[in-house]
């Protein structure tokens, strides 16, 4: 009898450990996808996943191109995370993707390949080249001091989307 109780205890212990391992793996994957851009935001894995999600959710896709070792990308990331209104909009109103490698879609580099840059894609799969930052030589670049402009552009992407539907 004691052996059966002991066996049941070990089985339940193993099941609990496995459940904790799965939970930790899910949390790690979420953190890996965020790459430090906001852990409460749901991040998608790839550009293709984002395009697939566009039709289902009818939310615009926000694509952040950056590099981990780029000081401009790091500064933008810190400002992005610190801005509560941007974090809230990103979480509630956008499909979010941050990439450290180019997607292969030339439409996401309308004025060249540089980082950091942020572009929006609407549910009709149109890259919103009309939503730009303040720099004339890098139209889709944002700096850490541009969070008000980025928030305004996020609202613009969201509002124009409603008008287009």
pLDDT bin (cut points 50, 70, 90) of residue 20 is low
Q: Same domain, yes or no, for 108 and 141?
A: yes
Q: Same domain, yes or no, for 22 and 50?
A: no
pLDDT bin (cut points 50, 70, 90) of residue 18 is low
Report pLDDT for 102: 87
Inter-residue contact 87 to 81 (CB < 8 Å): yes
Q: Same domain, yes or no, for 136 and 90?
A: yes
Residue 98: domain span = 35-164
pLDDT digits (tens, 9 = 90+) for 30-47: 458 999 999 999 999 999
CATH number at residue 59: 3.40.30.10
How many domains would you assign to the chain? 2
Q: Same domain, yes or no, for 17 and 77?
A: no
Q: Same domain, yes or no, for 98 and 128?
A: yes
Q: In what order do the strands lie in the sheet with 95-99?
A: 95-99, 61-65, 117-121
């Amino acid at each position: 009898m004691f052996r059966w109780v002991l066996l049941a205890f070990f089985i339940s212990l193993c099941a609990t450990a496995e459940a904790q391992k799965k939970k930790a793996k899910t949390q790690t994957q979420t953190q890996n996808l965020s790459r430090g851009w906001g852990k409460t935001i749901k991040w998608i894995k790839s550009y293709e996943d984002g395009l697939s999600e566009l039709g289902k959710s009818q939310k615009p896709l926000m694509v952040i191109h950056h590099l981990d070792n780029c000081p401009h990308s790091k500064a933008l990331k810190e400002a992005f995370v610190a801005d509560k209104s941007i974090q809230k909009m990103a979480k509630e109103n956008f499909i979010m993707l941050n990439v450290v490698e180019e997607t292969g879609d030339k439409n996401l580099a309308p004025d060249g390949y540089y980082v950091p840059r942020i572009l929006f894609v609407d549910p009709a799969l149109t890259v919103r080249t009309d939503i730009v930052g303040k720099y004339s030589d890098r139209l889709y670049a944002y700096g850490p001091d541009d969070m008000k402009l980025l928030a305004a552009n996020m609202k613009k992407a969201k509002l124009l989307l409603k008008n287009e539907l």
